[in-house]
Amino acid sequence: MGSNGVSVEMIRLAVNGDPAAVEALLSVAQPDIRRYAKRYCISHEDAEDAAQQTLWQLYRRIGALRTAASFPAWLMMIVRRECSRLASHLKHQSLIEESVLAERSDSELRLDIAAAIESLPERFRLVVILRDLQSKTVDEIGQELSLGREAVKSRLHRARILMREYLAD
């Protein structure tokens, strides 16, 4: 099927529910999924999120695939949909933020941001403080908190969503 190691037989077994085949398919399809996401998403962060969502969709919906030959196009469609969804959410979110935050003075905004950070669960708060206040890299944060890069990025992404929601209220 391609040089990435995905075979028609692997797809057929995964479609039929073979757990080992599903796991193998997730593993060998991941580089293609990430490449597609980098091509279709606006930002690196969105590409990472889209890749994770696509892997999840692949895991959940592989049984619905009709033919092994359509697998690459099916994956690309999922990635494109996820990138589009993330871009739409980002655009909507930034419009909300602009209107809400524009109404606040600098001192009010500082207090609101501090309260938003304080409202976060500790696992999210630590990542935001290390990244946004102490300007540490994702790798430095991962090393300090004994987390992988993806876990740090995921927590940072979730923390920022929670802060936006807090500030929008």
**pLDDT of the chain along its 169 residues, tens only?**
444 678 899 999 999 999 999 999 999 999 999 999 999 888 788 888 889 999 999 999 999 888 888 899 899 999 998 888 877 765 545 444 555 555 666 677 778 888 888 998 999 999 999 988 888 888 999 999 999 989 999 998 888 888 888 877 6
Q: Would residue 98 count as lying in a domain?
A: no
User: Number of helices and strands (H, E) in the chain?
Assistant: 8, 0
Same structural domain for residues 75 and 125? no
CATH code, 121: 1.10.10.10
Q: Would residue 37 count as lying in a domain?
A: yes
Which pLDDT score is estimated for 3? 45
Same structural domain for residues 112 and 76? no
Same structural domain for residues 67 and 115? no
Same structural domain for residues 82 and 121? no
Same structural domain for residues 82 and 132? no
Burial of 164 (0-12, 13-18, 19+ CB in 10 A): middle
Instruction: Please count the other Cβ atoms lying within 10 Å of the Cβ belonging to residue 52.
Output: 19
Tell me, yes or no, if the pTM score tops 0.75. Answer: no
Domain that holds residue 151: 104-168
Q: Would residue 3 count as lying in a domain?
A: no
Number of domains in the chain: 2
